[in-house]
Structure 1
């Protein structure tokens, strides 16, 4: 297995980050965690219900050994 070549493209983001970090102030991250969790839970529940309803709508398969 070969190692990935390291060139200027892999060094540039690190150099840019190191150069710009002292220039910027830290910004606090304030997210509405409760609302985000509720939306995520609602989406997951809705996806599970839809999947279950679609699965239950399909007719059951007949066994291959049964002949009419």
Structure 2
């Protein structure tokens, strides 16, 4: 699920940056589009870690509850 969210977020970012670049081009302002890859990677990694921890915690709780009579 985290991968799907990361791909959708990247798609939205590309669309937004393309629109912004085109609008600046209409104003005769030519600029390079740069993405903060380190921040994007850190955010995606943190989301992945939180997803795994949440899944393991919920599974452990469910298995412990099911094992107790």
TM-score interval, normalised by the smaller of the two chains: 0.3 to 0.5
Task: Please give the TM-score of this superposition, normalised by the length of structure 1.
Answer: 0.47
Task: Please give the TM-score of this superposition, normalised by the length of structure 2.
Answer: 0.46
Q: Which has the higher contact order (CA 8 A, sep 6+)?
A: 2
